[in-house]
Amino acid sequence: MLLRDAVLEGPQPAEVQALLRLCREPDYHPLPEIVRQLEAKGWVDTAGETHLVTLTGRTVVER
């Protein structure tokens, strides 16, 4: 899947749930498949083992 296709597809319920949990639960570690999807859409950056919700990801959560 191309990056632009991932972004155009919009948020899936599992992705929104993972973003919400990342924002609320610092110790939460989503499945690697979900992390890859969130990174492809630009909603999460990963530093080491820490997943950081980007500004774009927070916008998705706030909708």
pLDDT tens, 6-57? 666 778 999 999 999 999 998 899 999 999 999 999 999 999 989 999 999 9
Rounded to the nearest 10 degrees, the angle between the axes of helix 13-24 and helix 55-62 is 110
The residues that bridge with 49 in the sheet, in sequence order, are none
Q: What is the structure's pLDDT at 6?
A: 66
Q: How far apart are CA 32 and CA 29, in angstroms?
A: 8
Q: How much of the chain is in helix, strand and coil states, percent to nearest 5?
A: 55, 15, 30
pLDDT of residue 1: 52
Q: Is 15 helix (H, G, I), strand (E, B) or coil?
A: helix
Collapse the DSSP code of 4 into the 3-class scheme (helix H, G, I; strand E, B; otherwise coil) and give the result: helix
Element (H, E) at 50: strand 50-53
pTM of the model as a whole: 0.82
